Amino acid sequence: MTRDERLLHDLFAEMIEGPEGEAPPPTDSSRAELAAMAALVTQLRAQAAPPPDATAALARARARMMASL
């Protein structure tokens, strides 16, 4: 696993863990947001976006994900 993949894995894990560290049951909305984030990561990699752009895009996606929970 590359460094970037590890960071994304940790970000996804942090987003789906509940306050006690347990993942809440997935919802259609959370599944859709995770799929959208995965697509965004793929798109950013394909475009070779500079890190600040990629970081900002992931932060926006994370905010949407958290709002959907």
Residue pLDDT, tens place only, 8-56: 777 777 766 655 666 666 677 777 877 887 888 788 777 776 667 777 8
pTM: 0.41
| Per-residue CA distances from 67 to 31, 51, 58, 63, 64 (Å) | 13, 24, 14, 6, 5
Q: Which two tokens stand for residue 13?
A: 């894990």
Domain membership of residue 9 (yes or no) is no
What is the per-residue pLDDT for 22? 66
Q: Which residues have a Cβ under 8 Å from the Cβ of 62 and sit 6 or more positions away?
A: 11, 15, 37
Domain residues for the domain of 37 are: 28-69
Domain membership of residue 1 (yes or no) is no
Domain membership of residue 66 (yes or no) is yes
Q: Is the pLDDT of residue 1 over 70?
A: no
Count up the domains in the chain and report the number.
Answer: 1
